[in-house]
Amino acid sequence: MDSLPDAIVQCILIHITNAKDVASTCCVSKRWKESIPYLNRLVFTRNVFDNLKNCSPDDIVGHMVSSINQLEELVVYCPFTGSGLASWLSLAGPSLRRLELKMDDNLIDMKSCSTKLDSIAAATNVESLKLWGVNMTHCPEWYTFNKLRNLEIVGTVTEDSILHAALMACPNLSNLLLLGCEGLKHVFLELPQLEVCNLDFNGLGNCSLTVNSPELQHLKVQGCSWIRVPQTRLLRNLSISNTSGRVIFVDFGKLVALESLEMRGVQWCWSAIHKMFQLASEVKHLFMKVEFTGDSDALQPFPEIDIVDFFNSHPKLIKFDIHGAMFAALCQRNSLKNVDYRFMIPCLEEVVVTVRSPLNAEQKMSTLESLINYGKKLRKMRIKILQMKSSHSSTDDFFEEICRFTRMNRRIVSIE
């Protein structure tokens, strides 16, 4: 070991980040032990101190952190106290670029929760901050994190004003991820440099959201009933879902750059669906899995959608993933009445159809055939038969028709 050049030693050590392995390297040789201060990353796994006796985990983490000159990344999944975290960050805070903490907060020890959250302020130059299981029940005493670009919070209990105050301390975020958030009702995000935003709100699905970010390119939202995003000039990927409540209202700017749109949920108001169809005229990939519509709690099927109008309104559509309700709406009796010899679906290359009912089998087969006939570039169609629970003979007849259709178009069509 002593004969290795310094560059080789550093190249080896830079790949050793697990704290337990780092401690073990000190026993390999004096040369390696002397190189420990030049590490830049430490990871403490969840069970690293399971067999520890007569020693505090906080003290061990603190000793290792203090032995490194310029620690740039610290990941702590093992349990720790608020005072321990404050002590480590008082030593390494200014040099840290990436900080990831599994907080494991509980509502019993509120003082420790507050200490943990507030002590993060010492990481003044942090560029990426990830927090797991944090109870943000008070406004964190943070300074402005001017260099913070990536903020991820998974599993949190908080309030609207507290979340707003925390985000005000992160004005230059380009990536924001909030998953499993509870206690929020009205969320307002105003982050001028935000590009990627992933939001998942737990609860009744009745949260309202406003995002005012002119640089936004990717937006994924779950659990909101009212959504307003006025600045969408650069928005390329959009996903909206609500598994607990209804999507009632959507208000977006012009979606001129939109390439991918996902719409998921049990129930959407038809006005919201119709509005999204109008705005997303430039979309290239459309995923549609909404079970019902209706402006009240009563679940209603989709109204009829004219297939000619739909594809004429979405001429750039390349991939279309249709779940049962949307497919049924395209397969109503009058949907293909306006077809003439000039009609074509210009860009469609791939279709995924999920069928859940044998009702209106004739219209459904007619729609499938039309997609083949008018989709001049169609090269792949997948038909998914999902939970078709009917003892009526029409189920067998419909399935037989789909098999016949698949055999006739076996180069393009497959059944799953």
String of DSSP letters for 376-387: TT--EEEEEE--
Q: CB neighbours of 397 closer than 8 A, spacing ≥ 6?
A: 358, 361
Residue 2, pLDDT above cutoff 90 = no
Classify 294 in phi/psi space as left (phi over 0), alpha (psi -120 to 50) or beta.
Answer: left
Residue 340, pLDDT above cutoff 80 = no
H/E element, 101? strand 98-102
Tokens of 269: 């108001």
Stated pTM of the model: 0.90
23 pLDDT tier (thresholds 50, 70, 90) = confident
pLDDT tens-digit series, residues 75-94: 999 888 888 999 999 999 99
H/E element, 266? strand 260-268
Q: Are 42 and 65 in contact (CB under 8 A)?
A: yes
- Give the residue-averaged pLDDT of 20-47: 81
Residue 66, pLDDT above cutoff 80 = yes
Q: CB neighbours of 242 closer than 8 A, spacing ≥ 6?
A: 205, 222, 223, 224, 225, 264, 265, 266, 268
Report which of 212, 208, 213, 243 is spatially closest to residue 226, judged by C-alpha positions: 208
Distance CA 349, CA 335 (A): 21
pLDDT tens-digit series, residues 214-234: 999 999 999 999 999 999 999
110 pLDDT tier (thresholds 50, 70, 90) = low
Distance CA 327, CA 332 (A): 9
Q: Are 205 and 225 in contact (CB under 8 A)?
A: yes
Res 51: pLDDT: 75
108 pLDDT tier (thresholds 50, 70, 90) = very low
Mind giving me the DSSP string for 227-246? EEE---TT--EEEEEEEEEE
pLDDT tens-digit series, residues 120-171: 999 999 999 999 988 888 888 998 999 999 999 999 989 999 999 999 999 9
How many other C-beta atoms are found inside a 10 Å radius of the C-beta of residue 360?
15
pLDDT tens-digit series, residues 265-314: 999 999 999 999 999 999 999 999 999 998 888 899 999 998 888 999 99
Residue 390, pLDDT above cutoff 70 = no
- Give the residue-averaged pLDDT of 172-200: 96
Res 135: pLDDT: 86
Higher pLDDT among residues 374 and 57, named by residue: 374
Q: Are 332 and 308 in contact (CB under 8 A)?
A: no
Res 111: pLDDT: 60
Residue 362, pLDDT above cutoff 90 = no
Lowest mean pLDDT among 40-44, 46-50, 228-232, 352-356: 46-50
21 pLDDT tier (thresholds 50, 70, 90) = confident
Report which of 65, 12, 3 is spatially closest to residue 35, judged by C-alpha positions: 12
